[in-house]
Amino acid sequence: ETGVTQSPTHLIKTRGQQVTLRCSSQSGHNTVSWYQQALGQGPQFIFQYYREEENGRGNFPPRFSGLQFPNYSSELNVNALELDDSALYLCASSMGRGQGYEQYFGPGTRLTVT
């Protein structure tokens, strides 16, 4: 088990609603990356935060936004939920900027949009 925690573990929302997912990074890590993983597929990179600033973004629309706090924990916000947003959302912390470092993943939040 890594020291990365995520909350909640499961969530059910209705189309059009907004959701906030939370991640606490492993001690000593200053970088958090968020991923979306649909069933049967690999994780897709959403964005990364390094020392409270966005440090890279994947091919996701602006309704996916994030935040990193001074203690390096992070939030992922998704507005105007769509059915296709149903997935496992993973956060991963690491020791440096970029992703040339080992990523420590949390257990994920399973989001279901109905």
Partner 1 sequence: SQKIEQNSEALNIQEGKTATLTCNYTNYSPAYLQWYRQDPGRGPVFLLLIRENEKEKRKERLKVTFDTTLKQSLFHITASQPADSATYLCAPLNNNAGNMLTFGGGTRLMVKP
Measured from the CB atom, the residue of 13 and 58 that comes closer to partner 1 is 58
| Shortest spacing between CB 16 and partner 1, in angstroms | 27
Pairing of strands 87-94, 31-37: antiparallel
| Shortest spacing between CB 44 and partner 1, in angstroms | 7
Measured from the CB atom, the residue of 80 and 105 that comes closer to partner 1 is 105
Report which residue type is found at 16.
Answer: G
Measured from the CB atom, the residue of 10 and 14 that comes closer to partner 1 is 10
| Shortest spacing between CB 105 and partner 1, in angstroms | 3
**CA 36 – CA 82 distance, rounded (Å):** 14
Which residues lie near partner 1 (CB under 8 A)? 2, 4, 33, 35, 40-45, 48, 55-58, 90, 92, 98-100, 102-108
**Ramachandran region of residue 51, left (φ > 0), alpha (ψ -120 to 50) or beta?**
left
**Ramachandran region of residue 107, left (φ > 0), alpha (ψ -120 to 50) or beta?**
alpha
